[in-house]
Chains A and B, each alone.
Chain A
Amino acid sequence: NFLLTQPHSVSESPGKTVTISCTRNNGSIASNYVQWSQQRPGSAPTTLIYEDNERPSEVPRRFSGSIDPSSNSASLTITGLKTEDDADYYCQSFDDDNREVLGGGTKLTVL
């Protein structure tokens, strides 16, 4: 199996851009789709990005996802940061048996 490693926390100012990484420790990041979810305090997670870089229609274009095989990582980029983006962000993928693998989560502070 494999692990997905995210930074524990990141912080940035409103209006700026932040990128959260998700690094796979073995096997190719491109082997299985990566999705990103957002969890605001006191709420259930919601999907921001699915299938590496697809965005549900209700998710603002400020959120984008990508994968980089050279670093074996996926990234979530948020532009034009707003205070409402203050939340926990999780990457997840699937192993070859379609079992879910979750990153440890990244706490984004917008200050």
Chain B
Amino acid sequence: EVHLVESGGGSVKPGESLSLSCFASGFTFADTWMSWFRQVPGKGLEWVGRIKSKDNGGTADYAAPVKGRFTISRDDSKNTLYLQMDSLKAADSALYYCATVAGIATWGQGTLVTVSS
């Protein structure tokens, strides 16, 4: 069974950094493109970015609001996806989900990030 577990959320001040992790199990992580999404409670889902599998170049793309501040990476030896978030803003406060890309997408349960002074 495909299973994704996010961790690393917390409360930080504007301008600070935070790193999220997503541990994957139940599928061949190295072959799978992965995305991050976020959702402000009560609002719609927002795509944050995506990283390809290393066989497809391993490159990442980002949504405009986070480009240049967020970095997605992966460690296939640890079945883990990462989201490094720098220069955080109040508008980045949300529940962050990792998800598999394409086919039958699966999401984790999310980790909450709060950016507040």
Contacts and interface: CB of A to CB of B under 8 A. Distances in A.
A39 B105 contact: no
A3 B80 CA distance: 31
A45 B39 CA distance: 11
Contacts of A109: none
A45 B38 CA distance: 11
A94 B35 CA distance: 12
Contact of A100 (B50, B52, B110): B50
A50 interface: yes
A47 B107 CA distance: 9
Contacts of A98: 33, 50, 52, 61, 101
- Please classify the interface of chain B as helix (H, G, I), strand (E, B), loop, or mixed, using the class held by over half of its residues: loop
A18 interface: no
A37 to B, nearest CB: 7
A100 B97 contact: no
A2 to B, nearest CB: 13
B91 interface: no
A41 to B, nearest CB: 10
Given A44-B110, A47-B106, A50-B104, A99 B45 contact: no
B26 interface: no
B116 to A, nearest CB: 22
B44 A90 contact: yes
Contact of A46 (B35, B46, B107): B107
B47 interface: yes
Nearest to A95: B61
Contacts of A101: 47
27 contacts: A35-B105, A37-B105, A37-B107, A39-B45, A44-B108, A44-B109, A47-B104, A47-B106, A50-B102, A50-B104, A50-B105, A56-B104, A88-B44, A94-B102, A97-B61, A98-B33, A98-B50, A98-B61, A99-B63, A100-B35, A101-B47, A102-B37, A102-B44, A102-B45, A102-B47, A104-B44, A105-B44
Given A50-B104, A102-B45, 15 more contacts: A35-B105, A39-B45, A44-B107, A44-B109, A46-B107, A47-B105, A50-B103, A88-B44, A90-B44, A92-B47, A98-B101, A99-B50, A99-B61, A102-B46, A102-B47
